[in-house]
Structure formats: structure tokens, C-alpha cells
Structure 1
């Protein structure tokens, strides 16, 4: 199995896809919103143009970035990072493999947009979870059998390719009849007009991958520069454990995006406000419960997970739990803007907040160690939450008082009653003769 040094160096290299995504922008995600609109109108020509224009842009943008990365990887990495376990040749091979993995991932996102367009998000979630679980199991087995970082990178790319094929086959089971003949990838039916209409929202949405790269890879690189790869491994493991609940809750915000898109574009603000309130209530309350549970059992889980190879840091872990709660606020509220492609102001502010967090980490990590990185992220997420929620309320024409009232004890009790009633109805469906 890998030691702390090798694992820390692998984490630094595995941040490469998040930086490649910066050049791609938010093409796939923004195209999904237009795809949902085209599906609502049953516009097969527009649907085909969206799919093939997105494919064209992904290939055109990713190829030169891939070449630049491969050239950059030829530079001796030990000139700017203290790598000792992965040699320069392995760095180049892993970089090339991650580029291929990224292209496959972007093509998969087009299929993800199709699932959402056909309101089959539950099926998409099941398939995505199977993909993550299968990939994790295969990678773990390979690592236990002595796989090198190159072997792991190749395995991840092969699994991505296999599940891309699975999506291409399965999507025909949920697609509406009019769309089945226009879902194929290609470049023949690309639209220059569509490129222009997608450009601005795609560029602004592309700031979100930059933010993810900053809070993910950027913070880790600062820790690696200021401290050492072992500290990178510790912080990454603590953050992964703290984020475990947040990963599950992200399904809630992703699942409401198609419904919000239809509600907002049709100016049905009452429905949009209801969807937003309920989703945010579920996310926030669940985040707090997850945080309490992990605070109590986190040390035990961490020791079991890492086989006590890493020393659990309770202070950093507690701060990271607070970071998760704060981030869930703004990431859930941001879906209001992204579901209608009116997110430019939000994403610019989110980027500025993350740049400030990165600057704060650059100052604090050398002074106080890992807590400095967690504190920088926490302050960043609190400020961003205030701004993004305020913007969401403006877009939904919702008053701040009504929004705050949705988190009153009586409103939360109604939420629990609604969830309980929904669960009871699901387990004991109403007979057909008694349905209204």
C-alpha cells in the first residue's frame, strides 16, 4: 500500500482535472439548461444542435489545453514541488491519462443533461452512484494488489469510458420517442448562433470549476508548499470525511434544477419559491445532523479508515464541519441562478471570495498550520452565503422575512410532517378508487 508521501503526491496530481475544467468553462452545464428548455418544447432540431455544438466546443477547447499541460509536465517537477516518490516520466503519463479522463467526463455530462431533460434524475443518481462505487472498489483492489499511480490513473480512465458507453445505451430507455434519433454525438449539426448564446453564461459558469480548483487543489498546493505532502494527505483525509454528508446532500440541489428551470423560465414564481424553500430546509437541517454525528464519531471513523496511519486533528475537523454547513447554504441557493443561466454576478462573487480565501490560507498556513486553511474556507463560505442567498431571493421575488420564516420551528415541524407523510404514502399507496 502507498505511504503518506506517495499518497500526498498523488493528491497533488489528481487535482489536474479540476484545473483542466477551467478552460472548458461551464459549457456542458449551461447546455443542460437549454436542453431542458428544448425538451419542454419537444424541439428536436434545437436539441440536436445543443448536443453536437457542445461536443464540438469540448474537443476544440480541451485539445490545446491538453497540449499545454503535456508541455508543462516536461518541466522537472522537483524544481517547484518536493516530489520524491513519483518520477517525471510517471508525472507525464498520469497527466496525459487525466486529460483523456476529463474529455470522457465532459461527454458523460452531456448524457447527464439528457437524463435531467427527460426528468429521470433518480435513474441518473443510481447510475452515477454505481459508477463511483464500482470505480472506488476496483481502484482499492488494484492498490491492495500493488498498483502504481499510473495503474490507478489508467483504471479510473477505463472505468470512465465503460460508464460512458453504459450511459449511451441506457439513455434510450428514458428518452422520449422524438429525441432518440437526435441524441448522437458529432459536429455536423453544430450551431454558431448557439455558441454565441451559450458563451457568456458558459464563461461565468466556468468560474465555478475555478473555485473548486482553488478550494480543492489550490488549498492543497499551498499546504504542500508551506508544510509537506504528509500534511496534504492529513488535510485531504479530514476534509473528505467532513464532506461525506455534503456529497449526499448535493443530490437534493441537483435534483431540483430541472424543475426550477421549468418554473423560473415559465415565470411560475410561487412554484419556484416552494421548491427552493423545501430544498434549502432539507439541506440545512440535514447538514447540521450530519455534522453532529460526524463530530461525535469522526475520530473513530478516521482511525478505522486510515488504519491510524494519520493522526486525527479534532480542531481542524471541527472547523471543516462548519465549512461544510456554510458551503451547503450558498451551493444550494446558487441553483436558483444557474437553473435559469442568470448566474454571472453570483459566480464572479464566489470567485472573489475564494481568491480571498486562498490569500488568507497563504498567510495563515505558514503561521498556524492546517487550522489556517480551514479558517480561510469558513470565512469565505459565510460571506458568499449571505450574497448568494440574497441574489436568489431577488430572482424569486421573495422577501427576506418570508425566507427567514421558513426556518422557524413551526415551519421545520411542517417539513418533518411532510417528509413523514410522503414516506407513509410511498410505503402504503392510496388505492386507485380513493384517489382524487
Structure 2
């Protein structure tokens, strides 16, 4: 079987192949950083703070991260728009996007911070979140600092859009992963040095600010024509971005429905044992999505650059390469899961969960279908033409949740998995039509 590198080498020019290779490597680095930080911080923070304080940290830090979407998807569509503009030889258009989003963030960030501060002061944060291991003052200060960190993250995303604008997705991914690593190290140092939750949150803010300044300095050195400001900001540019931005926000909403709601459905219909079986089995079967997401993220900027330059022929070749790599990954994934799950599930759960059929087969099928449609969705989203597909996805996700209840009542876990398979299979023709792939 041909490897992904061999497939790329046969169909793409050397420069594109090398660029994609660097981007895939950078995405892999990001995955490693995420896993290492998540795993390493657990025992370290437990040792430094104890279970009570660490539990409070988990509860308090969960809330501000919802503000990660506070720009309503504008930085994502800005990346695509800027890459297309630069590739089309229109740096002035890219600057207008950059300045317009910066102006939006400069207005939205203080408003969100002020509103967050009022809410934090008005409510009893430890009582609302169940974080009774810390004082109200500590809880409020921690949450407020975490909100500041998330708002700084929006500006960091915008700088990353500038880094990507000249089709440098590998550099963007390295900066994003390094910033996550820096945050993790900062929290670890604060905790080991004897600091509490406020010190850890302040360390995160300092790390994010340092990463923001470092990334911006790097951007200015390599792309001297692009700088933060509001001189070129205009309302027309924002009006052209808001529809794809809001439409892109529907994607995580639909994903949240399909990931979280089935757990509640299974819990209500089958109880704790069914919930554990479903959640554990799904965790194992969804591990293959990491590889597909890595590939999808690696080719997004390439599709935007090719669209901006009008090179539809190379875009078609890239699509065929992506499809070939995706099918190879799906085949390896399906065989691996079906062979390993009967052994891994009992080991992970100390014998509490065993592989069940046809439930496991249906779950694998649903993930394979998700891999296919998410790959087809990538070229559409890369050029900000994803509006119809995301609206349909949200509708499909809502309908699936409604269907999962009666199917689970009648067929047990097989019914839940079948509902998920139907949802993701339905999105394959949707993305095929949205991308007009027959024309390629």
C-alpha cells in the first residue's frame, strides 16, 4: 500500500509536497504537545495542590474556555480570506481583513471583559460551579484572569492568520502548539513554586501575552507589509465575513450535539452501565479522527492559496491526493480498532466493558463516515463557502438526537450507534453537492 508521502509525490509538485510535509509534521507536533501537557499536568497539579484545589481548578477553568468562540468564527474565516487575497496578488485586501478583525476585537474584547467581570462579581462563583475548596475571592480572581487569557487568545489567533496569509501553515501550527506548551509550563512552574489558582491563572496570562508578542514580532520580520492597526478597517469587509463566520460556528454546535447528547440519551435509557459502555467504546473508536483532523488542517491553507491564484487544476490534484490518504487512513483505522478493541476495552475498564456487536461495527462505521465527510468539507471551508453544509449539519445533528431516543429505547446501544451512523452518512452527499466535486 502506498504511503501518504508517496501519494503526494506522485500527484503534486515538489514545493507543494514539501510544504504539506512540513505542515503535517507541525500538526503532529501540536498533537504531541497537547497530549503531553494534558497528561503531565494532572499528577503535577494533584501533588502541588491536592485533589480539592485541583478539582476547583478544573471547574473554574472550564467556564472561560467557552469564550474561545467569542469572535464568532471571524479569525477562522479571516485566515482563509487573507490566504486567498495574498495568493491573488492583493495584499491590500488581506490588510483590510487583518485590520477589520483587529478593530472588531478591540471593541469586543473590553466589552466581553467588562460583562464577564460584572457576572463574576454578581454571582457566588464557588457555589455556582461547585468549587467549594477555594474562597469566593480566589475563585473570582482566577476566573477573571482566565477570561483575560482567552481574550488574548483571540488576538493570538489573528496574528496566526497573518502568519498563515503567505501560505505558511506549518509556522502557524508551530506557534500555536508552542504557545500551548508555554502555558502548560507556566502553570506547572507557578504550582511547583507554591502558588495557588490565582498565580497559575496569572502565569497563563503572562505566557499567552509572551507568545502573542513573540508571534507578532516574527510576523513583522517575515511579512513587513502586514502590521496590526485599524487604518484599513472597513465595515464592508466585516459584512462580507460575518455570514461565513457565523455559519462556521454551527459546526462545533453540531459536533457538540453529536458528542454530548448521545451520552445523556444512553444514560436516561440504559443507566450507568450502558453509559460507561457507550462512552468507553466511543472514545476508542474516535481515536482515528485525530489523524484525519491532522490531514484536514494541513491542507486547508493550500486549498485557500490555490483558490486565490485560480489554479483549479492543482486543487483537483490535491483533492485526489487527500482522498487517497484519507481512504488509506480509514482502512488502517477500521482494521486496527476492530482487532484491538476486544483486547483494549477490557484492559482499560478492568473487565467492566467488553466489545459488543454489532454495536462496535456501527460505531466504527459512523466514525469512518465522519472521516469521509469532514475531508470533503475541508476544501469548502477553506474558501469560506461552507454556509449551506454547516446549516444542514446542525439540522441533521438535532434530528439525530431526537431519533436516538426511541432507537436506544428499542434497540439499546445498537440504536444509538445506528443513529450516529445515519447522521454522518447523510453528510457525505451533502458535502459532495456543496463542493460540486463532480466538476473536478
TM-score, with structure 2 as normaliser: 0.68
Map of 2:77 onto structure 1: 30
Structure-1 separation of matches of 2:275 and 2:198: 20
Name the CA shift for 1:278/1:18 in 2 (closer, same or farther; >3 Å). farther
Q: Structure 1 residues 230, 97: closer, same or farther in 2, change over 3 A?
A: farther
CA distance in 2, matches of 1:148, 1:234: 37
Structure 1 residue 244: deviation in Å? 3.9
How far apart, CA to CA, are the structure 2 residues paired with 1:220 and 1:152? Answer: 32
Mapped contact 2:77–2:384 kept (Cα < 8 A):
yes
- Which of 311, 330, 344 in structure 1 is aligned with 2:373? 330
Q: Structure 1 residues 369, 170: closer, same or farther in 2, change over 3 A?
A: farther
Structure 2 equivalent of residue 416 of structure 1: none
Report if aligned partners of 1:53, 1:195 keep a CA contact under 8 Å in 2: yes
Which residue of 228, 238, 241 corresponds with 1:198?
241
Establish whether residue 40 from structure 1 lines up as the match of residue 87 from structure 2. Answer: yes
* 1:422 aligned residue: none
Segments of 5+ residues of structure 1 without an aligned counterpart are: 399-436
Q: Secondary structure at the match of 2:439?
A: coil
Residue 391 of structure 1: how far off its partner (Å): 1.9
Q: In structure 2, what is the Cα distance between the partners aligned to 1:245 and 1:66? A: 38
- 1:171 is aligned to 2:213: no
**Deviation (angstroms), 1:375:** 5.3
Match of 2:97 among 42, 46, 50: 50
**Are the equivalent residues in 1 in contact too, given 2:303–2:379 (CA < 8 A)?**
yes
Q: Counterpart in 2 of 1:397? A: 439
2: CA distance between counterparts of 1:130 and 1:124? 10
- Residues 215 and 85 (structure 1 numbering): CA distance in 2 closer, same or farther, change over 3 Å? farther
Q: Deviation per CA, 1:269-289, whole angstroms, max 9, x where unpaired?
A: 332222112112212321331
Higher alpha-carbon deviation: 240-249 or 378-387: 240-249
**1:207 and 2:250 correspond:** yes
Show the counterpart of 1:121: 169
Aligned to 1:180: 224
CA distances 1:215-267 after superposition (whole Å, capped 9, x unpaired): 45666777899999999999777655544442233232222223322433555
Match of 2:303 in 1: 260
Deviates more, 1:13-22 or 1:28-37: 13-22
Aligned to 1:350: 393
Do the aligned residues in 1 keep the contact of 2:52 with 2:133 (CA within 8 Å)? no
Mapped partners of 2:360, 2:189: distance in 1:
28
Question: In the alignment, is the contact (CA less than 8 A) between 1:25 and 1:209 conserved in 2?
Answer: no
How many residue pairs get aligned? The number is: 389
d(CA) in 1 for partners of 2:134, 2:304 = 48
List alignment gaps of at least 5 residues for structure 2.
Answer: 1-42
Match of 1:273 in 2: 316
- Give me the TM-score of the superposition, normalised by structure 1: 0.68
Shift of 1:380: 2.2
SS in 2 for 1:24: coil
SS, match of residue 331 in structure 1: helix
Contact 1:76 1:88 in 2 (8 A): no
Superposition pairs for residues 11-410 of structure 1, below 5 Å? 16=63, 19-65=66-112, 83=130, 89=136, 92=140, 95-132=143-180, 157-172=205-220, 175=222, 179-183=223-227, 185-215=228-258, 242-297=285-340, 314-315=355-356, 321-360=364-403, 376-392=419-435, 394=436, 397-398=439-440
Deviations, residues 303-346 of structure 1 (Å, cap 9, x unaligned): 88x7x699556458776544432222122111222222222111
Q: 1:35 to 1:323 in 2, by over 3 A?
A: same
C-alpha distance 277-117 of structure 1, shift in aligned 2 (>3 A): same
Q: What is the CA–CA distance in structure 2 between the aligned matches of 1:119 and 1:243, rounded to whole Å?
A: 30
Task: Tell me what 1:428 maps to.
Answer: none
Query: Distance in 2 between the 1:235 and 1:75 partners?
Result: 36
For residues 234 and 345 of structure 2, the distance between their equivalents in structure 1, rounded to whole angstroms, comes to 51
Contact 1:18 1:210 in 2 (8 A): no
